[in-house]
Structure 1
Amino acid sequence: MPTPELVHLDADGWRDFRDVRLASLADSPYAFGSRHADWVDATEERWRARLTDVPFTVVARCGSGLVGVVSGVPSDDHVELISLWVAPAQRGTGLAGRLIAAVVAWATALGRDTLLMVRDDNVQAIRAYERAGFADLGVPPDRPADEPRERRMRHAPRAG
Protein backbone atom coordinates (compact mmCIF):
# COMPACT_ATOMS: atom_id res chain seq x y z
CA MET A 1 0.00 0.00 0.00
CA PRO A 2 1.49 3.38 -0.97
CA THR A 3 2.15 5.96 1.74
CA PRO A 4 -0.54 8.67 1.69
CA GLU A 5 0.58 12.19 0.91
CA LEU A 6 -0.44 14.91 3.40
CA VAL A 7 -1.84 18.03 1.73
CA HIS A 8 -2.72 21.33 3.44
CA LEU A 9 -6.02 22.72 2.14
CA ASP A 10 -7.14 26.30 1.75
CA ALA A 11 -10.65 27.40 0.76
CA ASP A 12 -10.03 26.38 -2.85
CA GLY A 13 -9.68 22.78 -1.66
CA TRP A 14 -13.29 22.75 -0.47
CA ARG A 15 -14.33 19.85 -2.74
CA ASP A 16 -11.65 17.55 -1.31
CA PHE A 17 -12.57 18.64 2.20
CA ARG A 18 -16.25 18.06 1.51
CA ASP A 19 -15.58 14.54 0.23
CA VAL A 20 -13.38 13.45 3.13
CA ARG A 21 -15.49 15.19 5.78
CA LEU A 22 -18.70 13.55 4.58
CA ALA A 23 -16.90 10.18 4.50
CA SER A 24 -15.69 10.71 8.07
CA LEU A 25 -19.12 11.72 9.37
CA ALA A 26 -20.76 8.73 7.66
CA ASP A 27 -18.11 6.26 8.88
CA SER A 28 -17.70 7.46 12.48
CA PRO A 29 -20.73 9.54 13.52
CA TYR A 30 -20.07 8.88 17.22
CA ALA A 31 -16.67 10.59 17.05
CA PHE A 32 -17.74 14.07 15.99
CA GLY A 33 -19.88 16.92 17.24
CA SER A 34 -21.24 17.49 13.73
CA ARG A 35 -23.55 15.08 11.98
CA HIS A 36 -23.57 13.95 8.36
CA ALA A 37 -27.06 15.44 8.00
CA ASP A 38 -25.68 18.84 9.12
CA TRP A 39 -23.26 18.93 6.18
CA VAL A 40 -24.52 16.70 3.36
CA ASP A 41 -26.40 19.53 1.63
CA ALA A 42 -23.99 22.33 2.56
CA THR A 43 -23.28 24.97 -0.05
CA GLU A 44 -19.89 25.67 -1.55
CA GLU A 45 -19.82 28.88 0.50
CA ARG A 46 -20.27 26.94 3.75
CA TRP A 47 -17.48 24.50 2.87
CA ARG A 48 -15.17 27.39 1.94
CA ALA A 49 -16.06 29.22 5.15
CA ARG A 50 -15.15 26.14 7.22
CA LEU A 51 -11.69 26.07 5.63
CA THR A 52 -11.28 29.81 6.22
CA ASP A 53 -12.55 29.75 9.82
CA VAL A 54 -10.40 26.70 10.62
CA PRO A 55 -7.08 27.78 9.09
CA PHE A 56 -5.19 24.50 9.33
CA THR A 57 -6.73 21.49 7.61
CA VAL A 58 -4.70 18.61 6.22
CA VAL A 59 -6.02 15.73 4.15
CA ALA A 60 -4.28 12.45 3.39
CA ARG A 61 -4.37 11.50 -0.28
CA CYS A 62 -3.59 7.97 -1.45
CA GLY A 63 -3.70 7.66 -5.22
CA SER A 64 -6.92 9.34 -6.28
CA GLY A 65 -8.66 8.83 -2.93
CA LEU A 66 -8.78 10.78 0.30
CA VAL A 67 -8.08 8.57 3.31
CA GLY A 68 -7.73 10.96 6.26
CA VAL A 69 -8.25 14.45 7.60
CA VAL A 70 -7.39 16.59 10.61
CA SER A 71 -7.76 20.26 11.50
CA GLY A 72 -6.30 22.75 13.95
CA VAL A 73 -7.97 25.86 15.36
CA PRO A 74 -5.81 28.48 17.08
CA SER A 75 -6.95 30.23 20.24
CA ASP A 76 -5.16 32.75 22.41
CA ASP A 77 -2.97 30.22 24.19
CA HIS A 78 -3.22 26.90 22.34
CA VAL A 79 -4.28 25.10 19.17
CA GLU A 80 -7.30 22.81 19.35
CA LEU A 81 -6.89 19.62 17.31
CA ILE A 82 -10.27 18.71 15.79
CA SER A 83 -11.90 16.41 13.26
CA LEU A 84 -9.27 13.66 13.07
CA TRP A 85 -10.38 10.76 10.89
CA VAL A 86 -8.59 7.91 9.12
CA ALA A 87 -10.32 5.64 6.60
CA PRO A 88 -10.81 2.08 7.88
CA ALA A 89 -8.34 0.59 5.36
CA GLN A 90 -5.62 2.96 6.63
CA ARG A 91 -6.11 2.35 10.36
CA GLY A 92 -3.11 0.79 12.04
CA THR A 93 -0.69 2.12 9.38
CA GLY A 94 0.60 5.12 11.33
CA LEU A 95 -1.44 7.61 9.31
CA ALA A 96 -3.25 8.91 12.40
CA GLY A 97 0.10 9.68 13.98
CA ARG A 98 1.25 11.55 10.89
CA LEU A 99 -1.94 13.64 10.82
CA ILE A 100 -1.69 14.39 14.54
CA ALA A 101 1.99 15.32 14.13
CA ALA A 102 1.07 17.82 11.39
CA VAL A 103 -1.19 19.74 13.78
CA VAL A 104 1.30 19.52 16.64
CA ALA A 105 4.08 20.85 14.37
CA TRP A 106 1.87 23.74 13.28
CA ALA A 107 0.96 24.55 16.91
CA THR A 108 4.60 24.32 17.96
CA ALA A 109 5.60 26.72 15.16
CA LEU A 110 3.05 29.13 16.62
CA GLY A 111 4.57 28.61 20.10
CA ARG A 112 1.41 26.97 21.42
CA ASP A 113 0.44 23.72 23.08
CA THR A 114 -2.01 21.41 21.34
CA LEU A 115 -5.22 20.43 23.12
CA LEU A 116 -8.11 18.22 22.11
CA MET A 117 -11.29 16.60 23.33
CA VAL A 118 -11.96 12.92 22.67
CA ARG A 119 -14.92 10.72 23.58
CA ASP A 120 -14.28 8.40 26.52
CA ASP A 121 -15.39 5.41 24.47
CA ASN A 122 -13.13 6.14 21.47
CA VAL A 123 -10.32 3.90 22.70
CA GLN A 124 -8.50 3.76 19.34
CA ALA A 125 -8.28 7.54 19.16
CA ILE A 126 -7.15 7.86 22.79
CA ARG A 127 -4.35 5.35 22.12
CA ALA A 128 -3.29 7.21 18.97
CA TYR A 129 -3.14 10.49 20.89
CA GLU A 130 -1.17 8.89 23.72
CA ARG A 131 1.32 7.42 21.21
CA ALA A 132 1.69 10.94 19.78
CA GLY A 133 2.68 12.32 23.19
CA PHE A 134 -0.63 13.61 24.54
CA ALA A 135 -1.37 13.45 28.26
CA ASP A 136 -4.87 12.67 29.48
CA LEU A 137 -6.19 15.53 31.63
CA GLY A 138 -9.48 13.78 32.39
CA VAL A 139 -13.07 14.88 31.96
CA PRO A 140 -13.40 18.63 32.51
CA PRO A 141 -15.48 19.35 35.63
CA ASP A 142 -17.73 21.75 33.72
CA ARG A 143 -18.68 19.15 31.08
CA PRO A 144 -22.49 18.93 30.85
CA ALA A 145 -23.77 15.67 32.31
CA ASP A 146 -26.26 15.17 29.48
CA GLU A 147 -23.54 15.12 26.77
CA PRO A 148 -21.25 12.19 25.92
CA ARG A 149 -18.24 12.02 28.22
CA GLU A 150 -15.17 13.53 26.62
CA ARG A 151 -11.64 13.66 27.93
CA ARG A 152 -9.28 16.61 27.55
CA MET A 153 -5.78 15.80 26.31
CA ARG A 154 -2.73 18.05 25.97
CA HIS A 155 0.51 17.98 24.03
CA ALA A 156 3.08 20.58 25.06
CA PRO A 157 5.85 21.70 22.68
CA ARG A 158 9.16 20.15 23.64
CA ALA A 159 11.79 22.58 24.81
CA GLY A 160 14.51 22.68 22.19
Structure 2
Amino acid sequence: MTEMWVLGPDNWSVWRALRLAALAEAPNAFGSTLAEWQGDGDREERWRARLGIRDSHNVVAVLDGRPVGMVSGVPTQESGTAELISMWVSPPVRGQGVADRLIGEVERWAIQRCATRLRLSVMPDNPAAIAFYARHGFAGTAMVGDLAPDGGRREMVLAKPLPTA
Protein backbone atom coordinates (compact mmCIF):
# COMPACT_ATOMS: atom_id res chain seq x y z
CA MET A 1 0.00 0.00 0.00
CA THR A 2 1.22 3.48 -0.84
CA GLU A 3 1.44 5.93 2.04
CA MET A 4 1.60 9.70 1.64
CA TRP A 5 3.98 11.52 3.97
CA VAL A 6 3.86 15.29 4.33
CA LEU A 7 7.38 16.58 4.86
CA GLY A 8 8.76 19.63 6.58
CA PRO A 9 12.29 21.00 6.92
CA ASP A 10 13.31 18.32 9.42
CA ASN A 11 12.67 15.67 6.73
CA TRP A 12 15.16 17.25 4.35
CA SER A 13 17.25 14.09 3.88
CA VAL A 14 14.24 12.13 2.55
CA TRP A 15 13.42 14.94 0.11
CA ARG A 16 17.07 15.28 -0.89
CA ALA A 17 17.41 11.60 -1.83
CA LEU A 18 14.29 11.68 -4.01
CA ARG A 19 15.07 15.02 -5.63
CA LEU A 20 18.60 13.98 -6.57
CA ALA A 21 17.23 10.71 -7.98
CA ALA A 22 14.64 12.66 -9.98
CA LEU A 23 17.18 15.10 -11.42
CA ALA A 24 19.51 12.21 -12.35
CA GLU A 25 16.77 10.05 -13.91
CA ALA A 26 14.93 12.80 -15.80
CA PRO A 27 17.45 15.62 -16.35
CA ASN A 28 15.40 17.33 -19.06
CA ALA A 29 12.12 17.31 -17.15
CA PHE A 30 12.86 19.98 -14.56
CA GLY A 31 13.70 23.65 -14.35
CA SER A 32 16.67 22.73 -12.14
CA THR A 33 19.68 20.60 -12.89
CA LEU A 34 21.42 17.92 -10.89
CA ALA A 35 24.62 20.00 -10.98
CA GLU A 36 22.81 22.90 -9.27
CA TRP A 37 21.86 20.66 -6.34
CA GLN A 38 25.16 18.80 -5.99
CA GLY A 39 28.58 20.01 -4.85
CA ASP A 40 28.29 23.48 -3.33
CA GLY A 41 24.50 23.37 -3.90
CA ASP A 42 24.07 20.26 -1.75
CA ARG A 43 23.75 21.91 1.66
CA GLU A 44 21.43 20.96 4.48
CA GLU A 45 20.25 24.54 4.96
CA ARG A 46 19.28 24.77 1.28
CA TRP A 47 17.25 21.55 1.46
CA ARG A 48 15.59 22.74 4.66
CA ALA A 49 14.76 26.08 3.03
CA ARG A 50 13.19 24.29 0.05
CA LEU A 51 10.90 22.34 2.36
CA GLY A 52 10.30 25.44 4.46
CA ILE A 53 8.69 27.52 1.71
CA ARG A 54 5.92 29.35 3.53
CA ASP A 55 2.54 27.59 3.26
CA SER A 56 3.95 24.88 0.97
CA HIS A 57 2.75 21.27 0.96
CA ASN A 58 5.54 18.76 0.29
CA VAL A 59 4.47 15.16 -0.15
CA VAL A 60 6.40 11.93 -0.61
CA ALA A 61 4.80 8.67 -1.72
CA VAL A 62 6.12 5.68 0.22
CA LEU A 63 5.63 2.12 -0.99
CA ASP A 64 6.64 -0.77 1.25
CA GLY A 65 8.65 1.62 3.42
CA ARG A 66 10.57 3.09 0.48
CA PRO A 67 10.05 6.65 -0.85
CA VAL A 68 9.08 6.35 -4.54
CA GLY A 69 7.62 9.71 -5.55
CA MET A 70 7.37 13.36 -4.66
CA VAL A 71 5.44 16.54 -5.33
CA SER A 72 4.98 19.98 -3.82
CA GLY A 73 2.19 22.49 -3.80
CA VAL A 74 3.26 26.09 -3.37
CA PRO A 75 1.33 29.35 -3.10
CA THR A 76 1.66 31.91 -5.88
CA GLN A 77 1.42 35.68 -6.08
CA GLU A 78 -1.70 35.23 -8.21
CA SER A 79 -4.86 35.32 -6.12
CA GLY A 80 -6.77 32.03 -6.14
CA THR A 81 -3.94 30.11 -7.82
CA ALA A 82 -1.68 27.43 -6.37
CA GLU A 83 1.20 25.75 -8.19
CA LEU A 84 2.23 22.10 -8.42
CA ILE A 85 6.02 21.66 -8.64
CA SER A 86 8.72 19.00 -8.36
CA MET A 87 6.51 16.09 -9.48
CA TRP A 88 8.39 12.83 -9.97
CA VAL A 89 7.74 9.10 -9.59
CA SER A 90 10.43 6.42 -9.65
CA PRO A 91 10.32 4.49 -12.97
CA PRO A 92 9.77 1.02 -11.42
CA VAL A 93 6.46 2.14 -9.87
CA ARG A 94 5.10 4.27 -12.70
CA GLY A 95 1.69 3.18 -13.89
CA GLN A 96 0.65 2.03 -10.40
CA GLY A 97 -1.36 5.12 -9.43
CA VAL A 98 1.37 6.82 -7.39
CA ALA A 99 1.36 9.97 -9.53
CA ASP A 100 -2.44 10.11 -9.40
CA ARG A 101 -2.32 10.07 -5.60
CA LEU A 102 0.39 12.73 -5.49
CA ILE A 103 -1.64 15.07 -7.69
CA GLY A 104 -4.69 14.38 -5.55
CA GLU A 105 -2.76 15.40 -2.43
CA VAL A 106 -1.78 18.75 -3.97
CA GLU A 107 -5.30 19.34 -5.28
CA ARG A 108 -6.79 18.76 -1.80
CA TRP A 109 -4.23 21.11 -0.26
CA ALA A 110 -4.97 23.80 -2.87
CA ILE A 111 -8.73 23.52 -2.35
CA GLN A 112 -8.26 23.80 1.42
CA ARG A 113 -6.34 27.02 0.75
CA CYS A 114 -9.36 28.27 -1.25
CA ALA A 115 -7.49 28.14 -4.55
CA THR A 116 -9.74 28.02 -7.60
CA ARG A 117 -6.97 27.12 -10.03
CA LEU A 118 -3.94 24.83 -9.97
CA ARG A 119 -1.12 25.40 -12.41
CA LEU A 120 2.14 23.69 -13.28
CA SER A 121 4.98 23.90 -15.75
CA VAL A 122 6.13 21.07 -17.96
CA MET A 123 8.79 20.79 -20.63
CA PRO A 124 7.23 20.89 -24.10
CA ASP A 125 9.23 17.86 -25.25
CA ASN A 126 7.78 15.63 -22.53
CA PRO A 127 4.65 14.22 -24.22
CA ALA A 128 4.08 11.54 -21.58
CA ALA A 129 3.89 14.14 -18.80
CA ILE A 130 1.71 16.45 -20.90
CA ALA A 131 -0.71 13.58 -21.63
CA PHE A 132 -0.74 12.57 -17.96
CA TYR A 133 -1.57 16.10 -16.85
CA ALA A 134 -4.25 16.39 -19.56
CA ARG A 135 -5.92 13.25 -18.15
CA HIS A 136 -6.08 15.13 -14.85
CA GLY A 137 -7.80 18.13 -16.43
CA PHE A 138 -4.83 20.40 -17.06
CA ALA A 139 -4.79 22.41 -20.29
CA GLY A 140 -2.41 24.88 -21.90
CA THR A 141 -2.49 28.53 -20.93
CA ALA A 142 -1.30 31.71 -22.61
CA MET A 143 1.32 32.21 -19.88
CA VAL A 144 4.94 32.24 -20.98
CA GLY A 145 6.94 29.64 -19.08
CA ASP A 146 10.43 29.98 -17.67
CA LEU A 147 13.48 29.23 -19.77
CA ALA A 148 14.74 25.68 -19.40
CA PRO A 149 18.24 25.23 -17.97
CA ASP A 150 19.53 24.62 -21.51
CA GLY A 151 18.38 28.14 -22.48
CA GLY A 152 16.82 26.86 -25.69
CA ARG A 153 13.32 25.93 -24.57
CA ARG A 154 10.57 27.43 -22.48
CA GLU A 155 8.39 25.48 -20.13
CA MET A 156 4.71 25.12 -21.01
CA VAL A 157 2.32 26.38 -18.36
CA LEU A 158 -0.77 24.22 -17.82
CA ALA A 159 -3.65 24.90 -15.46
CA LYS A 160 -6.94 23.44 -14.32
CA PRO A 161 -9.91 24.85 -12.44
CA LEU A 162 -10.51 23.52 -8.94
CA PRO A 163 -13.86 22.98 -7.26
CA THR A 164 -14.59 25.25 -4.34
CA ALA A 165 -14.32 23.82 -0.85
TM-score by length of 1: 0.89
Q: Deviations over 1:100-150 (max 9, x none)?
A: 111111111111111111111111111111111212225x35766953132
Residue 64 of structure 1 corresponds to: 65
Larger displacement relative to structure 2 (16-25 or 48-57): 48-57
- CA contact 2:75–2:82 (8 Å) conserved in 1: yes
The 5 A counterparts of 1:118-157 are 118-137=122-141, 140-141=143-144, 146-157=151-162
Q: Deviations over 1:56-93 (max 9, x none)?
A: 11011112321100011101321111110010011111
Percentage identity across paired residues of the two chains? 42
Total equivalences in the alignment: 157
- CA contact 1:22–1:36 (8 Å) conserved in 2: yes
**Residues in 2 aligned to 1:92 and 1:151: alpha-carbon distance in whole angstroms:** 23
- Check if 1:104 corresponds to 2:102: no
Residue 43 of structure 2 corresponds to: 43
Shift of 1:40: 2.2
**Residues in 2 aligned to 1:122 and 1:31: alpha-carbon distance in whole angstroms:** 7
**Residues in 1 aligned to 2:121 and 2:45: alpha-carbon distance in whole angstroms:** 27
Residue 7 of structure 1 corresponds to: 5
Note the residue ranges of structure 2 that are not aligned, 5 or more in a row. Answer: none
Structure 1 residues 156 and 142: alpha-carbon distance in aligned structure 2, compared to 1, 3 A threshold: closer
Structure 1 residues 136 and 52: alpha-carbon distance in aligned structure 2, compared to 1, 3 A threshold: same
**Residues in 2 aligned to 1:127 and 1:94: alpha-carbon distance in whole angstroms:** 15
Runs of 4+, deviation exceeding 4 Å: 141-146
- CA contact 1:57–1:70 (8 Å) conserved in 2: yes
Note the residue ranges of structure 1 that are not aligned, 5 or more in a row. Answer: none
- CA contact 2:144–2:157 (8 Å) conserved in 1: no
